[in-house]
Chains A and B, each alone.
Chain A
Amino acid sequence: MIPISYYFALSAILFALGALGVLIRRNAIIIFMSVELMLNAANLLFVAFARANEALSGQVFVFFVIAVAAAEVAVGLALIVVIFRNRQSIDIDEMSNLKG
């Protein structure tokens, strides 16, 4: 059997890679995908802790996280489409209109 802390370590690595993606990429869609990667790492941790404590509530929470992620992706991608329509670009360095 696999020690449960291996899953914690894997989840931490995936989360860090997602954070790295948010920091180094300029393409808004790739940044969004990195956010999905971080959400997924958190889901893995939820399921691992649910298994460690034999508490099924953790898995129910993952179900809700997946539903919220689906809603978030629909709205986020719609925003990206609108931004692209207005500016012909989804480079986040060019979205500085709100800067004071």
Chain B
Amino acid sequence: MNVELILFFVLAAVAIGAALGMLFSRNAVYSALFLILNFATVAVFFLLLGAPFIAMAQVTVYAGAIMVLFLFVIMLLGAEQIQHQARRGWQRPLAMLLTLVLLAESAYLIFTRSDVLTVLPPAASDYGSPQSIGLLLFSEYLLPFEVTSILLLAAMVGAIVLVKEDKKKSGGRK
């Protein structure tokens, strides 16, 4: 067993454990912190797969910006301690069963492939370098890149408009 394989299994255990911790934490803040841990381990997997640019984007955008937004909203709403309502008893077992079916289907698809245990040859030295991704982004994928900027602008405006207090409605209450 070489070092890389040990690293993979330890990190995979951390990633799955963090995902489980996120699912079963009572406190929403703990859930968000577990999810950050999960995103950080996935970023290391991206590094192992030869994608340093995506790994850094993952850390800054996902683990940084998006999760900080989640923490802001959780603390703004004071929603961290919201209790579970009594739910219908059949929902949880049914959800577990459906998830197990999904897992079994994916496992079947993965392990019936003929090349399950092929180890890839090392990639070319400039594979996944920020330079090559940037070249691809600004040549072949220029239009989607520009459309993304419009999408981000629309989302920003949408979020502001949604959260804005309605002056006419709230005037009476104040």
Residues of A within 8 A of B (CB): 1-10, 12-21, 23-27, 29-30, 32-34, 36-37, 40, 43-44, 47-48, 50-52, 54, 56-57, 59-60, 62-64, 66-75, 77-82, 84, 89-91, 93
User: Do most interface residues of chain B lie in helix, strand or loop, or is the interface mixed?
Assistant: helix
Ranked nearest first, the 8 interchain pairs of A and B with the lowest CB-CB distance are A71-B155, A23-B95, A12-B106, A78-B159, A78-B162, A20-B99, A17-B19, A1-B119
Besides A26-B84, A82-B162, 4 other A-B contacts (C-beta < 8 A):
A64-B144, A70-B65, A77-B73, A84-B77
CB-contacts of B72-112 with A (<8 A): 73-74, 76-77, 79, 82, 84-85, 87, 91-92, 94-96, 98-99, 102-103, 106-107, 110-111
A29-B73, A37-B38, A90-B79 known; A62-B54 Cβ under 8 A: yes
Query: Complex: how many Å from CA A4 to CA B50?
Result: 12
Q: Give the A-B contact count at a CB cut-off of 8 A.
A: 230
Nearest-neighbor residue (CB-CB) of B9 within chain A: A6
User: Do most interface residues of chain A lie in helix, strand or loop, or is the interface mixed?
Assistant: helix
Chain B contact residue count (CB 8 A cutoff): 86
User: Once the chains bind, are B137 and A60 in contact (CB under 8 Å)?
Assistant: yes
Chain A residue numbers with a CB within 8 Å of B8 are 2, 6
Nearest-neighbor residue (CB-CB) of A62 within chain B: B54
Query: Complex: how many Å from CA A88 to CA B160?
Result: 20
User: Once the chains bind, are A63 and B124 in contact (CB under 8 Å)?
Assistant: no
